[in-house]
Amino acid sequence: MDWIRLTKSGKDLTGLKGRLIEVTEEELKKHNKKDDCWICIRGFVYNVSPYMEYHPGGEDELMRAAGSDGTDLFDQVHRWVNYESMLKECLVGRMAMKPAFPKGMLPQSQVTDTLAKEGPSSPSYDWFQTDSLVTIVIYTKQKDINLDSVIVDHRDDSFRAETVIKDYSYLVHVALSHEIQEDFSVLVVENVGKIEIVLKKKENTSWKCLGHPQENHNSFIPKKDTGLFYRKCQLVSKEDVTHDTKLFCLMLPPSTHLEVPVGQHVYLRLPITGTEIVKPYTPVCDSLFSEFKEPVLPNNIYIYFLIKIYPAGFFTPELDQLQIGDYVSVSNPEGNFIISQLQELEDLFLLAAGTGFTPMVKVLNYALTNIPSLRKVKLMFFNKTEDDIIWRSQLEKLAFKDKRFEVEFVLSAPTSEWSGKQGYISPALLSEFLKRRSDTSKVLICLCGPTPFTEQGMKMLHDLNFSKDEIHSFTA
Ligand code: FAD
Ligand code: NAD
- pLDDT tens sequence across 143-167: 778 899 999 999 988 999 999 998 8
In this structure, the number of other CB atoms found within 10 A of the CB of residue 182 comes to: 11
Question: What pLDDT, in 10s, does the model give residues 332-381?
Answer: 999 999 999 999 999 999 999 999 999 999 999 999 999 999 999 999 99
Which range has highest mean pLDDT (201-215, 218-232, 430-444)? 201-215
Q: Kindly give the number of the ligand 1 atom that is closest to the alpha carbon of 309.
A: 52
SS3 262: coil
The pTM of the full predicted model, rounded to 2 decimals, is 0.84
pLDDT confidence band for 111 (50 / 70 / 90): very low
* Best residue among 380, 412, 456 to mutate for probing ligand 2, ranked by most atoms within 8 Å of CB: 412
Quick check: CB of 245 below 6 Å from ligand 2? no
- Across the chain, mean pLDDT equals 89
- Relative to the alpha carbon of 247, which ligand is closest? 1
Residue 62 near residue 51, CB atoms below 8 Å: yes
Overall residue count recorded for the chain in this entry: 476
CA–CA separation, 135 vs 196, rounded Å?
6
Ligand nearest to the CA of 283: 1
Atom of ligand 2 nearest to the CA of 423: 11
DSSP H helices, 274-357, are 316-321
User: From the CA of 272, which ligand is nearest?
Assistant: 1
* Closest ligand to residue 78's CA: 1
- Nearest bound ligand to the CA of residue 312: 1
- What pLDDT shows up at residue 84? 82
Find the angle CA(441)-CA(442)-CA(444) to the nearest 5 degrees.
130
- Atom in ligand 1 nearest the alpha carbon of residue 359: 28
Nearest ligand, measured from the Cα of 387: 2
Long-range CB contact pairs, 119-128, < 8 A, 24+: 119/166, 119/167, 119/168, 119/220, 119/222, 120/165, 120/166, 120/168, 122/170, 122/220, 123/163, 123/165, 123/170, 123/220, 125/172, 125/218, 127/210
Protein residue with its CA nearest to atom 1 in ligand 2: 354
Q: How far does the centroid of ligand 2 lie from the alpha carbon of residue 349, in Å?
A: 17
Ligand 1 atom with minimal separation from the 317 CA: 52
Q: What is the pLDDT of residue 81?
A: 79
Q: Whose CA is nearest to atom 31 of ligand 1?
A: 281
pLDDT score at 43: 85
Number of H helices, E strands in the chain: 11, 29
The share of the chain scoring above pLDDT 90, in percent, equals 70
State in Å: Cα 448 to ligand 1 middle. 14
- CA 282 to ligand 1: nearest atom: 28
Beta strands 133-139 and 124-129: pairing type?
Answer: antiparallel
pLDDT band at 406 (very low <50, low <70, confident <90, very high): very high
Please state the atom number of ligand 1 nearest to the C-alpha of residue 308.
25
In this structure, which amino acid lies at residue 414? P
DSSP 95-120: ESS-SSPPTT---HHHHHHHHHHHSP
Amino acid at site 236: V
Report CA(449)–ligand 2 centroid distance (Å). 4
Q: Pseudo-torsion of CA 463, 469, 473, 474, nearest 10°?
A: 180
Closest-lying ligand 2 atom to the alpha carbon of residue 358: 43
- The amino acid that residue 166 corresponds to is K
Residue 260 has what DSSP assignment? P
- 321 has pLDDT over 50: yes
Ligand 1 atom nearest to 277, measured from its CA = 51
What is the C-alpha to C-alpha distance for residues 109 and 157, in angstroms, rounded to an integer? 28
Q: How far is the CA of 354 from the centre of ligand 2 (A)?
A: 5
Q: What is the pLDDT of residue 4?
A: 86
Whether the upstream peptide bond of residue 107 has omega within 30° of 0, thus cis, is: no
Residue 11 confidence (pLDDT): 87
Average pLDDT of 205-234?
92
Cα 356 to ligand 2 centre (Å): 6
pLDDT at 213: 94
Please tell me if the CB atom of residue 305 comes closer than 6 angstroms to any atom of ligand 1. Answer: yes
d(CA 227, CA 99): 19
For atom 10 of ligand 1, which residue has the closest CA? 313
For 208-219, b where at least 16 C-beta lie within 10 A, e where not — what string? Answer: eebbeeeebbbb
Does 355 contact ligand 2 (Cβ within 6 A)? yes
Probe target for ligand 1 pocket from 79, 247, 277, 314, with the most ligand atoms within 8 Å of CB: 314
Ligand 2 centre from 451 Cα, in Å?
A: 7
Identify the three-state secondary structure at position 463.
helix
Res. 99 pLDDT band, cuts 50 70 90: very low
Q: Phi and psi (nearest 5°) for 171? A: -120, 130
Pocket-testing residue among 266, 316, 331, 361, ligand 1, by greatest number of atoms within 8 A of Cβ: 316
**Distances in whole angstroms, Cα of residue 320 to Cα of each of 22, 193, 267:** 42, 41, 16
Atom of ligand 2 lying closest to residue 383 CA: 9
